[in-house]
Structure 1
Amino acid sequence: MFHAPLPEASVQLYTLAGQFSQDPRGSLEKLAALGLRNVEAFDFVRRPAEIRQALDAAGLSSPTGHAPLLSDELWTPDGSIPAPSPEKVFEAAATVGIGTVIDPFVPVSRWLTADGVADIAERLNRASEVAAGFGLAVGYHNHAQEFLADFNGTSAFEHFVSLVDEKVELELDLYWAATGGQDVPALVSRLGDRLAAVHVKDGVVPPGNPFAPEAPAFSSRSLDQRHAGHGDVPLVEALAAGAGNIRYAVIEYDNPPGDVFADVAASLAFLFENGLAR
């Protein structure tokens, strides 16, 4: 479909969080058997050597990975804990073989004011400088809260993009951008070569923004997510709009609809059969 180089297919391991935690090597071997060569690691900071060993055994690479860079504390079921230092994150990333460390989530309240957005951008710019000392890059991954506020007609997300250094990579979650009310192919086009990766995710886009302060308490279990090409997200058009810029097309489900490996296989087949990734 594209004349420009195709993005490489990948999968965010959060999709199979339970299976991966119980059996890292076996889970990765199942992904490799589907035809994947790449994954996107998460929760790698506390066990980088184990994850690297499992990746090597399965013949997989993790060119990108998710880890906190922009929050001082992390929520866990046992309460908040201090976030690891950027240096610790980057040391772990280097062990795993990750080239770009992507912050996956910044709370809603910090996206609602210009000062909050400026602080996020400043922190990520500083993290980028530290990462460079490890030979790494940093990036940001959106949900829908980045599209709640706008400043002079520009969404908080695109205002953030204007403030971060061009070395900072962007990973656009196509489903969450649609949930945030965006014309997704148009947004991809505007981001241009700032966009390094996308999350390929589909399903029924919920009415209203579930991250809005007035919205009911949100759980990913409430999402009606479906195999790529079977929901509301214009994936083909979005990937076409990013042709030549997107390096990784990362499959993800926040709420897998069935057997998770079959779900990943279905979305991978969608990418391959439509000539959207390699």
Structure 2
Amino acid sequence: MKKFIHNIKKLACVAAASVLIIGCNATSQAVSNNENDNNMMPKISVQLWSVKDDVKEDFKGTLTQLSKMGFQGVEFARDFGPFANDPHGLKQFLAGLNLQASGAHIPFSYLDDANFLSTVAFYKTLGCDMLIVPYDERAFSADGIEWVVTELNRLAKKLAPYGMKVGYHNHAQEFEAYKQTTYWDYLAQNTLDNVVLQQDVGWTTYSGNDPVAYVRKYPGRTLTTHYKVRLPEGTQGKLPIIGKDTIDWPSLIQANKEVGGTLWLVVEQEEYPNGLTPLQAVAESKKGLDSFL
């Protein structure tokens, strides 16, 4: 623990020098390959917020069960169980389960000047190169959207030498009208191309928009995409489970493969119908997704 803290700046500096050559090239090559090979299937991850209570109760056991479901990665939501101060140990634990860190949800504050180096050092050691802001009220505020856009661009430039990317994750509010378009479109059109647009297709659908159209509207920007169901109000006879809902999953998968530059499809489950436990609901959505792959 002490050694990790004392070496934060050293790790960050090493990352700036070596990862620029190695890690960034590897990420760029992966994106390039994905854009040029329409038959390449993104890997399948799960957002750990889906099973947040299970993670708190039994971190290792929960991730073991997710691995057995066939997931190839996990997206973190700031809960690392017994590895909170041991990213190297966490990376080894994931490797033992044949899992990778597909990304992480963190607030802007984790990347401010006071916390930037420690955040980069932790996630770089973990092998996690996509840091996604999951929610910020300024992103759907006329008084705040310019700050969000400016900050995402600043962080994109600051993270690039480490072979890392910053991104933003939508909810329904980002699709509200703003300047003859929407907050989401304004953010997409005014951020750098290497800012990840992590579309949550459930919230996109819930807001009355087409998630497939939004993948195609911004090519190469949905490197990681949340596969979640949020049923539009008034929907009858459907469930918030992938494959039992209203989304055209085959067309979405095809768009992710063809133009999204998508590396990870991230299953997220926030509703647990018919008495299912969170893990059971995740398993059902994973099974539904598998049927389309």
Q: TM-score, normalised by structure 1?
A: 0.79
| 1:108-136 alpha-carbon deviations (Å, 9 max, x no partner) | x54231x5222101101111222224331
Aligned to 1:43: 78
Give yes or no for contact 1:5–1:243 (8 Å, CA) kept in 2: yes
Answering whether residue 263 of structure 2 is matched by residue 250 of structure 1, we say no
In 2, Cα distance between equivalents of 1:179 and 1:3:
28
1:140 to 165, 168, 178: 168
Moved over 6 A (4+): none
State the superposition RMSD in angstroms.
2.6
Give yes or no for contact 2:215–2:222 (8 Å, CA) kept in 1: yes
1:25 to 52, 60, 64: 60
In 2, Cα distance between equivalents of 1:271 and 1:19:
22
| 1:14-33 alpha-carbon deviations (Å, 9 max, x no partner) | 00111111211111111111
Shift of 1:274: 1.3
Give yes or no for contact 1:9–1:249 (8 Å, CA) kept in 2: yes
Shift of 1:206: 2.9
Give yes or no for contact 2:225–2:264 (8 Å, CA) kept in 1: yes
Answering whether residue 286 of structure 2 is matched by residue 268 of structure 1, we say yes
* Number of equivalent positions: 246
Identity of aligned residues (%): 24
2:248 to 231, 234, 241: 234
User: 1:110–1:3: structure 2 CA closer, same or farther, 3 Å change rule?
Assistant: closer
In 2, Cα distance between equivalents of 1:111 and 1:71:
20
Shift of 1:225: 5.9
Higher helix share: 2
5+ long unaligned stretches in structure 1: 73-81, 208-223
Corresponding letter in the other structure for 2:128: I
Q: TM-score, normalised by structure 2?
A: 0.76
User: 1:84–1:200: structure 2 CA closer, same or farther, 3 Å change rule?
Assistant: farther
Shift of 1:195: 1.5
In 1, Cα distance between equivalents of 2:239 and 2:192:
33
Give yes or no for contact 1:70–1:124 (8 Å, CA) kept in 2: no
Larger radius of gyration: 2
